[in-house]
Amino acid sequence: MVSGGTVQGDCSSLSSCLSSFASEVGGLSGSWMGSSFDSINRQVSACSEEFNGVISKEMEAFASACDLYVQYDTCKKSLEAAKSHYNSAVANQDSASVSSYGNQVANLGSQLNQLKSQIEVLLSSASSGALTATPLSGVSSSDALSALGSPSWGSFQAYEYTAQNGLTVKYYLYVPDYGTENVSGLPVMMYMHGGGDDNSYSNLLERGLSKQLKNQAVNPEGIVIIPFIQSFSNNKTIPALKDLVDHVVEEYNADPDRVSLSGHSYGAKTCYRLVNAYPDSFSAIVPISGYDKLSDAFKNVKVWAFTGEYDHGADTKKLMEQIQAMGGTASCHIYDHKGHSYVQDYTYEDEYTSPEGEEISPLTWAFQQVREKTTA
């Protein structure tokens, strides 16, 4: 029926093929965990009633979608095999194979994401009456994910991770619902609490973005890591937090070029320290009521700071000006007549004018930023 991007046969066989493929896409939507494929399924079912013997460009687009589905099925099987080899390599402590199969998993996951997006575009066009077959290449991970729309509220659970230096970090992890299956390329943010007398695991979810996630008051379109930091002065803390981020990116096949940081007070200081220690690892930071020294890494890491007027607002503003002077992108939102504690609880509850002049929430803005490298 389908070969080389063309449709052969009469209209009755086309109608049958459409109905059959609608069933295939319906099954696919169950694993997709998003709404887009459910919408496509309805569109394809409607197409089977409309085509009534007309062979047109819409049919060619549908045939191309069928061809891409064959590629999708092959890619999915290859990804499952690569994951199996990767897990075996980890179990056998075969570092060379871990690296090789890890790269395969990342590449195949990206291809699978692109194929899904292309099938969506082609089938949508096939029911619109105005279409051109869309090439597979040239679709970014971010574009493919945006086709899904907003996810339903996902999972928020507690975990433990032991870093390479032996430090064990307790953390909470939020993953949107469409990130629990085969969706790859999600952005990641790590949000870090502050210090003080209430620095305890039991209070971890009582402030700022952590509290909003616990109460399901925000619905992030990416992954959020909330670690409990036992000691900000321990020299093992910074490397352990970096290991944790890398672990989550690998575990969920997330986008390594869209990894951002945020935190309040000592958590904000830790944002700066992580960028200074690992200059090619992060895309943006959203420090809240805290700052630290700068390095050349901030030429390529975007900064959107939040602070109260009575909480070193002038100092934070000067720091943003220093980043701008070195060629970086930085902006500071100062809450008038406010102090240290106020800022953390309100930063993620509203939209503000971003460094680029857009009215947007800090979390959405951070997820959108893409890493730039400081070295060639």
Does residue 163 share a domain with residue 135? no
- Confidence (pTM): 0.62
Same domain, 118 and 185: no
Indicate whether 161 and 50 sit together in one domain: no
Note whether 227 and 102 are same-domain residues: no
| The pLDDT value given to residue 56 | 57
Contact 264, 307 (CB under 8 A): no
Residues in the chain, total: 376
Domain ranges, residue 114: 2-146
Cβ-based neighbour number of residue 227 at 10 Å: 25
Cα separation, 74 vs 108, whole angstroms: 10
Q: Do 234 and 263 share a domain, yes or no?
A: yes
21, HSE (Cβ side, Cα atoms, 13 Å): 28
Task: Kindly state the average pLDDT of the residues 102-120.
Answer: 81
On whether both 134 and 192 belong to a single domain, the answer is no
Question: Are residues 169 and 81 part of one domain?
Answer: no
Q: Is 301 helix (H, G, I), strand (E, B) or coil?
A: coil
Identify whether 234 is part of a domain. Answer: yes
d(CA 186, CA 167): 27
pLDDT at 34 over 70: no
Instruction: Let me know if residue 376 belongs to a domain.
Output: no
* 179 and 128 fall within a common domain: no
Top mean pLDDT of 10-14, 197-201, 205-209 is at 205-209
Q: Is residue 21 part of a domain?
A: yes
Reported as a single tens digit per residue, the pLDDT across 164-175 is: 999 999 999 999
Closest listed residue to residue 110, CA positions, set 99, 100, 98, 118 = 118
pLDDT above 90 covers a percentage of the chain that reads 37
User: Domain count of the chain?
Assistant: 2
Q: Is the pLDDT of residue 22 over 80?
A: no
Q: Report if residue 100 sits inside a domain.
A: yes
Sign of torsion, CA 227 232 237 243? positive
Quickly count: other Cβ atoms within 10 Å of residue 132's Cβ: 11
Please state which of the ranges 112-116, 168-172, 261-265 shows the lowest mean pLDDT: 112-116
Q: What is the pLDDT of residue 1?
A: 34
The DSSP line for 178-220 is GGSSS-----EEEEE---STT-SGGGTTSSHHHHHHHTT----
Q: Which stretch of DSSP H or E encloses residue 160?
A: strand 155-162
